[in-house]
Amino acid sequence: MPRSQTDEPLIQVAIAKNGWITDQETKDVVARYYSGTGILEFASADADAKYRRQCIDVVTMKPTADGTQAVPTGRTISEFAIKGREDDKPQANIPPKPAADPNLGDTTPAVVEWYFQYHPQWAYARYRVFLDEAGNPIRRNVRRKSIEMVDDRDDSKGLALENEGRGQQVLRTPKQSSWEGGPVARKGYIDEFDNQIIARRATCMTFTPNEVRGGFDIPFVDEPTRGIGVRDEEERE
Q: What would the DSSP string read from start to end of 2-40?
A: ---TTSPPPPPEEE-TTSEEEETTT--EEEEEETTTTEE
pLDDT in tens, 28-68: 999 999 998 888 888 887 787 788 888 988 998 888 888 78
d(CA 72, CA 23) in angstroms, rounded, equals 21
- Average pLDDT along the chain: 75
The pLDDT of residue 177: 37
pLDDT in tens, 162-177: 444 434 444 444 433 3
Q: Which residue has the higher pLDDT, 7 or 86?
A: 86
What's the full length of the chain, in residues? Answer: 237
Displacement of CA 225 from its chain's centroid (Å): 7
Beta pairing partners, 40: 33, 80
Contact status, residue 95 vs residue 45, Cβ threshold 8 Å: no
Contact status, residue 39 vs residue 124, Cβ threshold 8 Å: no
The pTM for the full model equals 0.53
Q: Is the pLDDT of residue 13 over 90?
A: yes
- Minimal CA–CA distance to 79: which of 223, 237, 182? 223
- By CB atoms closer than 10 A (0-12, 13-18, 19+), residue 216 is middle
Contact status, residue 57 vs residue 14, Cβ threshold 8 Å: no
Contact status, residue 96 vs residue 103, Cβ threshold 8 Å: no
d(CA 88, CA 116) in angstroms, rounded, equals 11
Contact status, residue 114 vs residue 98, Cβ threshold 8 Å: yes
Domain range annotation of the chain: 1-85, 145-189
Tell me the CA end-to-end span of the chain in Å, nearest whole number: 33
Q: Is 34 left (phi over 0), alpha (psi -120 to 50) or beta?
A: beta
d(CA 33, CA 45) in angstroms, rounded, equals 16
For residue 95, the SS3 value is coil
